[in-house]
Structure 1
Amino acid sequence: MLSQERRRIAALYQYPDGFLNVGWFAGYLRRKAGDGRHFQIQQTNLDNHNLDLVLRKYDEIPPQFHDLKPLRAICNLTGKIIGEDPVTKEPIRTVVATAVGFDVATVLDMPIDSAFDKIPVAGAPTTNFEDHGVKLFSGRDDKLSDSSNMVRLAGIIAATRFRAPNPEKGIRARCEILLRQKEDESQLIPVRYYGRLASAVYERVMRGAACEIVGRLLADVKRTGEPIDPETGIEPVRKIHFIECTTAPGVTTKNEIKVTPEWMVKMRQELQDSQRQRAEARARRIEQQKAALLAGGGSKQSPVAEVSDAEAQALFDTL
């Protein structure tokens, strides 16, 4: 676990594998039964949307942080495959946040009391903090503080996907990029953009580009289709964590990406080879079409009696 002294040196925890990778999450600690390495941070009264965090091996949560205690966790993030989509057959990816340090949360970090008044859907578990004797912080602004949930990442775009909007079903446009920081592609980090920004990002970014991401960690909660537990009244769900961004990817410098690993060099070389092959194929198609047009120029059935090389090239330049 990071000491206060080591926490002042960003390079010691913000650049695992040489790429900018850090998240700060503040809320109420929720301990989970089990091996003691898994816990949650609660930022609303909706339990299904708690942020799932994990400790590194041999680390422990400091004893002063008990259940429902306000705290702020410093984390590194990575991606993980947890299944396969039954329709698209693509991997289902989630974000794993690993805590490397803890701070006492301040009033500038904590979500305010209005965040704990959300109305749950049927079968969703909730926590009434007043029943636990917890005094929620009252603030003027309903917006979650940036220091309550902030993620900063830099890496290479490994893939992009776009989901078209469906207003009738209340589905917004979504662009998902998979950010790569490691050689192991099973650890790609899913980053999402919604609405108009989704279309703009999808049209602009491309595989192999380096970018910086500033966003927040959220939980996508879906029903599993299993029946509600008759004893607890809780409906089973599947939770996927992802990074949501409301601003476009930023340009990186040596301050965000400090290394050039072999897999990055190989990936960029493959992209350059692919681009060269596409350019060569396009040039061949143009030459074939030009030859076909010139060959047809002498035909009696052709409305063009003669076509010079310059005229043919000018014509193809307009295609």
Structure 2
Amino acid sequence: MLPQDAKRNPDSYSYPNGMLNSGYIAGVLRKNDPVNGICYIQQTKSENHMLPIHYDPKKSPIPREIKEWDLVMAYVHTEGMLDGENRIARVKSIRFEAPNFMHLGERFRDDFMKKWSVAVHAAATESQTPPSVEALSQLPSANNDERRDSFDWRTMELNKNASNQIKIAGFIQAKSLERNRKHPVDGTPINDRLVVLIRQSKDSDASVPVRWYGRNLQPLAEKLARGMPILVNGEYRVDVKVISMPDPVSGLAEVSKHPFIQAKDMPVPVAPDSGHIKIVPSWAHELFRGHGSQSAPEKVDENRSALFASAFGENQQQADQPGA
């Protein structure tokens, strides 16, 4: 559990490897298992998409007053891991707390309620709306200076989604671009998918998988070189794919689940004086060898607007669909 002094000092928890790694996830608490140190945060009615949150039951327990179906907020670190042949993101909470009026502003409420109303998979268990979410939908706005200046909003610099935000700075370990993708059911064209592994430690298997979806991601993929230091703003999600026909009795289908980070904007090159990367370890220097000088990030920065326009247009069909 973070002491009060640490809560006021972002550096004490936001740089576990000398590189920015900070996150904030809010939603409905589900299926808490304090013995194994795992719970789920539900942000949509589909239980297939509940977000797994790991934690240390001794150092960062869930407060006893927060029960199943209550709203909860988790401050997290993210790392990657191998699950068979799949690269997944593993999120670990360093602190849980109940939401209060400094958090439950109009922005948070609208972002969360928008997620809760999304219908993701027909062949899945769908939760009813619990009293905590019903109460949230009726809250007045708490948009005031006190909320904006509170520790958790300031350090997260929340953008795009006030209920789910991940910020990671690190070095590119590898990348993979999938173009000319087709919808698995109707065969219609869907957006490109670019997966980039962001490395923060000596263990390359702990690299965090970050995905971009867009109409044409090839220009971005060509600019992102192995070893390049970048900053990513993203959202913690679960890629769910149906792997069997629905059960004729229950109507439910067996699925595979792979947690990942979905980027919500273009990556930002990390400048030496930015403070996002405080330590450049020896393995990072190795990544640079044979892939140009450190001047490459500046070129990416010059072209950010053009890259954004080419990759993310107004027609974002299925760009944000989990499992797409």
**TM-score bin, normalised by smaller chain:** 0.7 to 0.9
CA, structure 1 residues 229+219, in 2 after alignment: closer, same or farther (shift >3 Å)? Answer: same
Cα distance in 2, alignment partners of residues 172 and 66 from structure 1 = 39
Cα distance in 1, alignment partners of residues 281 and 122 from structure 2 = 49
Cα distance in 2, alignment partners of residues 132 and 17 from structure 1 = 36
CA, structure 1 residues 25+224, in 2 after alignment: closer, same or farther (shift >3 Å)? Answer: same
Structure number with higher relative contact order (C-alpha < 8 Å, ≥ 6 residues apart): 2
Cα distance in 2, alignment partners of residues 230 and 13 from structure 1 = 49
Conserved 8 A contact 2:27-2:112: no
Conserved 8 A contact 1:42-1:50: yes
Q: Which amino acid aligns with 1:98?
A: K
Conserved 8 A contact 2:46-2:121: no
State which structure, 1 or 2, has the greater radius of gyration over its C-alpha atoms: 1
Is residue 179 of structure 1 aligned with residue 194 of structure 2? no
In structure 2, which of residues 213, 219, 232 is the aligned counterpart of residue 194 of structure 1? 213
Conserved 8 A contact 1:192-1:244: yes
Q: Which residue of 1 aligns with 2:74?
A: 73
Cα distance in 1, alignment partners of residues 93 and 129 from structure 2 = 24
CA, structure 1 residues 140+176, in 2 after alignment: closer, same or farther (shift >3 Å)? Answer: farther
| CA positional deviation for 1:33 | 4.6
Q: What are the equivalent positions in structure 2 for 1:1-319 lying under 5 Å apart?
A: 1-33=1-33, 35-56=35-56, 58-59=58-59, 60-84=61-85, 92-105=86-99, 106-108=103-105, 109-110=108-109, 111-130=111-130, 135-138=135-138, 146-166=161-181, 168-196=187-215, 198-225=217-244, 228=246, 232-253=250-271, 254=273, 255-269=275-289, 271=291
Cα distance in 1, alignment partners of residues 247 and 2 from structure 2 = 41
CA, structure 1 residues 246+140, in 2 after alignment: closer, same or farther (shift >3 Å)? Answer: farther
Q: Which amino acid aligns with 1:107?
A: L
Q: Which runs of 5+ in 1 are unaligned?
A: 85-91, 274-319
Q: Which amino acid aligns with 2:199?
A: R
Cα distance in 1, alignment partners of residues 249 and 14 from structure 2 = 44
Q: Which amino acid aligns with 2:277?
A: I
After superposition, the C-alpha distances for 1:22-51 in whole angstroms (9 at most, x for unaligned) are 110111111345725110111111111111
Conserved 8 A contact 1:46-1:120: yes
Percentage of matched positions with identical amino acids: 27
Give the root-mean-square deviation of aligned CA atoms: 2.7
CA, structure 1 residues 205+160, in 2 after alignment: closer, same or farther (shift >3 Å)? Answer: same
Question: TM-score scaled by structure 2?
Answer: 0.73
Q: Which runs of 5+ in 2 are unaligned?
A: 142-158, 294-324
| CA positional deviation for 1:94 | 0.7
Q: Which amino acid aligns with 1:263?
A: W
Number of equivalences? 263
Conserved 8 A contact 1:120-1:126: no
| CA positional deviation for 1:222 | 0.9
| CA positional deviation for 1:112 | 4.2
| CA positional deviation for 1:169 | 3.1
Q: Which amino acid aligns with 1:166?
A: R
CA, structure 1 residues 34+129, in 2 after alignment: closer, same or farther (shift >3 Å)? Answer: same
Cα distance in 2, alignment partners of residues 130 and 40 from structure 1 = 15
Conserved 8 A contact 1:49-1:218: yes
| CA positional deviation for 1:136 | 4.3
After superposition, the C-alpha distances for 1:123-170 in whole angstroms (9 at most, x for unaligned) are 2011102589953425899xx962211111100011111101335434
Cα distance in 2, alignment partners of residues 176 and 147 from structure 1 = 24
Cα distance in 2, alignment partners of residues 62 and 140 from structure 1 = 26
Cα distance in 2, alignment partners of residues 20 and 120 from structure 1 = 32
Conserved 8 A contact 1:152-1:214: yes
| CA positional deviation for 1:184 | 0.6
Cα distance in 2, alignment partners of residues 133 and 246 from structure 1 = 25
Cα distance in 1, alignment partners of residues 120 and 166 from structure 2 = 26
